[in-house]
Structure 1
Amino acid sequence: MKMNKLFTAILVVIGFTQIKAQNSNSLSSSPYSLYGLGLENPLSTGKNDGLGYAGLAMTSANSLNLLNPASLGGINQHSLFYNIGFKLESKYLEQNRDSEHITSGNFSNLALGMAINNRSGIALSLMPKTDVGYEVSGLYSPIEGSSELFETEAEGNGGLNNFMLSYGYALTDKLRFGANASLLFGEITETQFNYIQSNILYIADENDYSGFRFGAGLQYDLSKSISLGLTAKTPVSLSGSQTRTISQYYADDEIVAGIVEENEVDNFDLPLELGFGLQLKLMDGFDVLADYKRHFWSSTNQSDALGKFTDQDFFNLGFSFSPLPNSNPLIYANHLEYRAGAYYDSGNLEINDQKISKYGLSLGIGFPLNKQDKSMINLSYSYGTQGNINNGLIKENFHLLSLNFSFEDLIFVTRKFN
C-alpha cells in the first residue's frame, strides 16, 4: 500500500512537469498541425485507445473512463484509479513524388480518480488537447518592388493542455449524471527565417492561449446488456497574447538588430460538441461499443489562412473480449483483455474544397498485474491515414503505439487477518 501511494506521488510529479515539456518537445509531427491551434489529441486513459477511442457509454467500474464524466457514477466504492500514458508515433508523409519519415513521442495522459461513496466518484486529469509540430521549407515569395524572390523556412511546436476536474453521480441504479470543468492553456511557438538576398529576417512568435470550458454527460442502462451515453461540451473563446521577437542579420557588417513586441491576438473559438454512445454486452466478456460525435465548427465563423473550418464528425467502433469469468482462472492468458477498433474523423478544415479526413484501425491488449485488484498495463497499436495527395496536399500514413499504466488501490477498506 505504501509503495502504491509513493508511485502515485511520482506520477503526479512527472505529469505536471510535462506541462512545460509539451511546449519544447512536440507530441505531433504533422504538417496539418500548422492550422488552427494544432491537431486534436485522440488518446485517452486506460483501455479506450485500443477500442477505436470509443467509450461514451462505458462506466468506470473496471478502469477509469474520462470520455464521459457520468461514468464516474459507476466507479466501485473502494476504488482509487491512477493512470499514466505515453505514445510513440511514426509517420510517412507523401506529396507528389516526395516522401519523408518522421518519428515523435512523449507523455500522453495523467489521471487520478476515486469513489466518494457508493454512488459518486471524482477524477483529476491532465492531457494534451492539441499538438503542434511542423517544419516547412522551400517557400518562395516576391520581394516587394522587385522581380526577385526570397525564401522562407518556418517551424512550430507546442499546443494546448487540458487540466480537467470530473464528477459523476448515480441518480438511480440505471441512470448516471456527470459534469466536468476544464482549464485549457498552452503556448504555441512559431518561428520564421526569411532569406532576403544576403540578409536574414528572423521572426519568433510565442502565442499563449487560455480559457475555461464546461461539459456534462449522461449514461443510462436500458438493460443488463445495453447502455447509452450522451455528452456535451460548451463553446468557449480562448483568449490569447503574443510575444514577438524580430531580428535582422546583415551578412556584410554582421550587425544584429532585435525588437521585442507584446501583441494581442484574436481569440480562438472552440465549438459546441455533442456525442452519443452505445455499449452492447453480447455475452460474458464480450462487449461492443459505438460512438458518434459532432463538433459544430461552422458556428464559430472562423477561417485559416489556407482554408476554412467546417463541422466535424467522428465515428468510433470498438470490440472488447476477455475469456473470464468462465475460463480457468489459473491460466494467465485467460485474464488478458483483447481489443480492436476502427475510427473515422471527417476533419474540421477544408482546403481547396477538400476536407482533411482521418481514419484508422486499432488493436489493444490489457495485461492484468495481479488478482487482487484491477491494475493493468494497456498496450495499443493504431494504423491510419490522414489527408491525401490531391491538389498539392499531403498524405500521412501513421503507426501509433500507446502505453497506459492503469493502477487500482483499495481505499477505506479495513483489512482482516485470520
Structure 2
Amino acid sequence: MKNTIAFLSCFILMSLTSFSQSISSSPYSLYGLGSLYDSDFGSIPSIGSSGTALPSSVFINNLNPASLAYLPLNHFMLDIGGKAIATTYESGSRSEKRNNFQFSHIAFAFPVTKKSGFSVALRPYSSATFKISNLKLPITDSQEYYYLTAAGSGGLNNFDFSYGYRFGKKLAIGATATLLFGNISDDRAYLISNSVTSISKKTDYNGVRATLGTQYKIDSTFTIASTFKAPTRVNAAKVQTVQTITNDVVTTVESDVASDTDDYYIPLEIGIGISKRFKNNLNLTMDYEKSLWNSTNQSELYGNFVNQDRFALGFTYSAKKNIRRYSDRIQYSAGANFDTGYLEVDGKRINNASISFGLSLPIDNTFSALNISYSYAQKGKISDNLIKENYHKISLNLSLDGIWFVKRKFE
C-alpha cells in the first residue's frame, strides 16, 4: 500500500507540472476568459463529447456528477489525459500552421458507500493564448480605421469536488462544487494615425460554481439524464500599465496601477442526454446542452455573447464474445459534435463542428484502459476580420482502476 501511495503521489506531482505548462492558441481566445476548454475523461472524446447518461462504472464520467453513484465498490479510479493538436488558421489572404501539446486533466474517484461515490478533478476551464498583428478595425461612427496588435497568455482552471448518490436501482443524483481560478496577461497596442497607445494588464480571476445532475434508468438498457449548471460571477482584479507614443515621445499614463475591473459572468447551462444499449455490445449516446449567454448582459468591443446550443452524438461497440481474446475486448467508438458557439463577431456566429473516432485498449490483468481518440474539427469561417480554424486532435486518456481495501485470501 505504501508503494502504491508513493507512486500515486509522484504521478500527480508530475501531472501538475505538465498542467502548469499546458498551452492552447486560438485568435478567438482574445474574447472574454479565452476559448473554453474541452477536457473530457475516459472514452468521452471519441464519442463526440457525449455521455451525460453514462455511469462511472469503468471510467470517471466528468459530464454528470450523478454517474458517481455507480462506482464499483472497493475500486479506486484515476484518470489522466493529454492531447496533441495540429491547427491551420486561414483568413482571406493567408494561412498559418501551429502545433502544440496540452495537458487535459487529472482526476480520481472512489466509492463512499455501495450507493454513492466521490471524485476530485483538476482541469483547465479556458485558455487565452493568442497573438494578433496589425488587425485593421473601423472606428465607431467614423470612416477612419485603427490597427490592433495584441498578445495574451493564461486562462482559468477548474478544481471540482463531486458527489453522487443512488436511490434504489433506478434514480441517481449528484452535485459538483467548482472552484474557478487563474489569471490572464494581455498586451495590446492601438495605432491611430501617428499615435500608439499601449495597454499592458494582468487580470486575476476567482469564483465558485455549482452543478447538479441526475440519471434515471428506464430499464437495464436505457438511461436518461439531465444537468443544471448554475450561473455565477467570476470576480476580477487587474494591474495595468498604459503608455502613449506620439512623435517618438513616450508618455506614461498609468504604471502598475491596481484596480477592480468588470467581473465576468458564466451563464445558466441546462443539458439532457440519453444512453441506449443494443444487443449488449452497441451503445448509443445523445446529448443536448443550452447555454444562456444572452442573459449575462455582457458584450465585447469586437463581438457579442449569444445563446449557445451544443449537440453531441456517439456510438461504442465491443464484441465481448471471447474475453480471452484481446481483440474482442477492445472498444471501438465514433462520434460527432456541433456547437453554435457563444460569440458573434460582425453578425457572424463562431460555430464549431467535429467528428471523432477512438479505441479503448484494456490493460491486461487489470480493470484499466488506455483511451485513444482522433478528432477533426472546423471552427469559425473565412470572412472579413474572421479566421477559420481547421484542426486535427489526438487525445490520450489513461483510465486506471484498482481494487483497494480488500483483504488477501492467500498469503
TM-score range, shorter chain: over 0.9
Contact 2:19 2:103 survives alignment (8 Å): no
Match of 1:332 in 2: 326
Alignment of 1:124-203 (within 5 A): 124-139=120-135, 152-193=148-189, 202-203=198-199
| Secondary structure of 2:263's aligned partner | strand
- Report the AA paired with residue 362 of structure 1: S
The two structures have a TM-score, normalised by structure 1, of 0.91
User: Aligned to 2:404, which of 399, 406, 411?
Assistant: 411
| Secondary structure of 2:360's aligned partner | strand
RMSD over aligned CA atoms reads 2.5
For residues 259-312 of structure 1, give each alpha carbon's deviation from its aligned partner in whole angstroms, at most 9, with x where no partner exists: 211021101110111110100011222211000011111111111112211110
Work out the CA distance in 2 between the residues paired with 1:309 and 1:149: 24
**Structure-2 change in CA distance of 1:292 and 1:198 (3 Å):** closer
**Structure-2 change in CA distance of 1:7 and 1:248 (3 Å):** farther
| Secondary structure of 1:266's aligned partner | coil
For residues 320-377 of structure 1, give each alpha carbon's deviation from its aligned partner in whole angstroms, at most 9, with x where no partner exists: 11121x22x3322122111110000010111222211100100111111123x32111
Match of 1:390 in 2: 383
- Indicate the percent of aligned positions where both proteins have the same amino acid: 34
Match of 1:266 in 2: 262
User: Aligned to 1:399, which of 387, 392, 400?
Assistant: 392
| Secondary structure of 1:391's aligned partner | coil
For residues 233-279 of structure 1, give each alpha carbon's deviation from its aligned partner in whole angstroms, at most 9, with x where no partner exists: 10001110001134578997999998211021101110111110100
Alignment of 1:5-404 (within 5 A): 5-17=5-17, 20-21=20-21, 25-26=22-23, 28-139=24-135, 152-193=148-189, 202-246=198-242, 259-324=255-320, 326-327=321-322, 329-371=323-365, 373-404=366-397
- Report the AA paired with residue 364 of structure 1: G
Work out the CA distance in 2 between the residues paired with 1:149 and 1:230: 48
CA shift, 1:152, in A, is 4.0
- Report the AA paired with residue 374 of structure 2: Y
Bigger drift between 55-64 and 237-246 goes to 237-246
| Secondary structure of 2:310's aligned partner | strand
Bigger drift between 112-121 and 241-250 goes to 241-250
- Report the AA paired with residue 11 of structure 2: L
CA shift, 1:12, in A, is 2.3
Bigger drift between 172-181 and 197-206 goes to 197-206
CA shift, 1:97, in A, is 2.8
For residues 91-140 of structure 1, give each alpha carbon's deviation from its aligned partner in whole angstroms, at most 9, with x where no partner exists: 11111131111112221101010011111100000100111121110135
Work out the CA distance in 2 between the residues paired with 1:277 and 1:397: 28
For residues 183-204 of structure 1, give each alpha carbon's deviation from its aligned partner in whole angstroms, at most 9, with x where no partner exists: 0111111112457899976432
Contact 2:183 2:203 survives alignment (8 Å): yes
Work out the CA distance in 2 between the residues paired with 1:236 and 1:138: 35
CA shift, 1:42, in A, is 1.8
- Report the AA paired with residue 9 of structure 1: S
**Structure-2 change in CA distance of 1:253 and 1:213 (3 Å):** closer
Structure 1: 4+ residue segments shifted above 6 A: 147-150, 195-200, 248-258
Work out the CA distance in 1 between the residues paired with 2:265 and 2:15: 27
**Structure-2 change in CA distance of 1:43 and 1:37 (3 Å):** same
**Structure-2 change in CA distance of 1:19 and 1:330 (3 Å):** closer
**Structure-2 change in CA distance of 1:308 and 1:140 (3 Å):** closer
Work out the CA distance in 2 between the residues paired with 1:152 and 1:223: 58
Work out the CA distance in 2 between the residues paired with 1:177 and 1:350: 35
**Structure-2 change in CA distance of 1:150 and 1:297 (3 Å):** closer
The two structures have a TM-score, normalised by structure 2, of 0.92
Q: Which runs of 5+ in 1 are unaligned?
A: none
| Secondary structure of 1:65's aligned partner | coil
